[in-house]
Amino acid sequence: MSQLANLLFEAGCIKFGAFTLKSGLTSPVYIDLRLLASYPALLRDVARAMAASARELAFDRIAAIPLAGLPIGTALALEMDRPMIYPRPEVKTHGRQRSIEGEFSPGETALVVDDLITRGTSKIEAIEPLKEAGLVVKDVLVLIDREQGGVEDLAQHGYRLHAILKFTDILDTLKESGRITAEQHTEVLDYLKPKT
């Protein structure tokens, strides 16, 4: 997986500096996996890595979380030849007014797929319409776990998290390959530590 970490860095999916997050906090690192759609070979590598993990799980269809999870979910569906659905961020007020796009039957199991996880809040919110439609969700599969409480948040709701890469492992790989300095490595590790 170290090669994948280096490729993500080279594609600009992992950047170091000072970034303002949605929460308003400042972070020394920014992960932008939406860029994967512009790198088909890398997206294919991601799908293959995720497929290896997904093959160990029991599910009927993939449920990709918009927006960043859609290219990854689509690539995974193609790699595994499995059907995909996705919960809409907002229910349309016209047409079929569906909260979930794609075909499915109540009682089926959906594997929730997204790009990364920090905390579990957005995943839990995305799972709600799936559950309301009668789908069963047991597992969430992401490319990167930022290791900031996502595992614990999902476990409290009865979901298991599966991550291809842990962010501390990515940092170690980037430091070992000379892509980041020891100072950057330490700064980001300090940032990731839980605040008391």
Using CA atoms, how far residue 101 sits from 73, 175, 178, in Å, is 13, 41, 43
- What is the sign, positive or negative, of the torsion defined by CA atoms of 34, 36, 38, 43? negative
Residue whose entry in the numeric block shows the structure tokens 């959906």: 110
Residues with Cβ within 8 Å of 100's Cβ and at least 6 positions away in sequence, in order, are 63, 85, 86, 87, 88, 129, 130, 133
Q: What is the pTM of this model?
A: 0.94
pLDDT at 95: 65
Looking at the chain, which runs of residues are DSSP E strands?
Answer: 14-20, 26-31, 61-64, 84-87, 100-101, 109-117, 136-145, 160-166
pLDDT digits (tens, 9 = 90+) for 23-81: 677 889 999 999 999 999 999 999 999 999 999 999 999 999 999 999 999 999 999 99
CATH number (3.90.550.10, 3.40.50.2020, 3.30.360.10, 3.90.1170.50) of 2-192 reads 3.40.50.2020
% pLDDT > 70, the chain: 94
At 194, is the pLDDT very low, low, confident or very high (cuts 50, 70, 90)?
A: confident
Structural domain boundaries of the chain?
2-192
